[in-house]
Amino acid sequence: MAAKASRAAFGEALLELGATDDRIVTVDADLSKSTMTAKFARTYPGRAFNLGIAESNMVGIGAGLALAGRIPFVCSFACFVVGRFETIRISVAYTNANVKIVGTHAGIAIGEDGYSQMGLEDIACIRALPNVPVIQPADELETRQAVAYAVEHQGPLYLRLTRQSLEPVCPPDYRFRFGRWLVLRPGTDVTLIGTGGTVFNCLEAATRLAAEGISAEVVNAACIKPLDEELLLASAGKTGHVVTAED
């Protein structure tokens, strides 16, 4: 697979899944071209809802659709998602509604879009809510599998996606497992834990460290909540040092 933004992989995966599951719907706030749900809307116009620049309303309608038996993917930039935290807290987490919240353009890596569009606080806010897992895939393969998992997961879920392209990092036979991390490169001296776009940076860092005689273990932490405590403790116990790379 070539490098691809996880938001693009998400849009493609959702379109494919929508062909076999008519419960899947999208709810957007005037950003479907950027969140990559526009093609889904064109293909299934009766299952796509564009509410204009009204993100709180978007979240509330998504919760209502979930309670009516649909599987809504509520999509916006991560910074705008967290700006409607109270609505997510009451309408989604409190009711345990089967809403899939998708935050794209996460982190400072969006670059030229600028600070006002950067989702920087979303992980801290969303992970504090009961019942809401947080998943951030590292490449196209993992994104596609995470989207498929989101459809099957019963209850709310937050999927954090990138604007920038991500290099492939997962092996071809990779299978996403909820709540589990993956060791991409074994090591003995230090553990480098990345999530999303930083996983590739960790692999690059491990290569440079190897040239200096330092053996770095690289871990892909796709599930930010729940943490894979078993793998974390095992790797930390083996290397004695842990460095996290976050965006």
| Cα angle 221, 76, 222; round to 5 | 5
Q: Are 47 and 74 in contact (CB under 8 A)?
A: no
HSE-CB for 30 with a 13 A CA cutoff? 8
Listed as own residue / partner, the contacts of 200-203 with beta carbons closer than 8 Å and 24 or more positions apart are 200/138, 200/139, 200/166, 200/167, 200/169, 201/245, 202/245, 203/169
Is the N-terminal amide bond of 226 cis, ω within 30° of 0? yes
Given 55, 140, 142, 217, the catalytic residue: 55
Whole-angstrom distance, CA of residue 75 vs CA of residue 207: 36
SS3 percent helix, strand, coil of the chain, rounded to 5, is 40, 20, 35
Is residue 55 part of the annotated active site? The answer reads yes
Please give the single-letter amino acid code of residue 193: I
Task: Catalogue the active-site residues.
Answer: 55
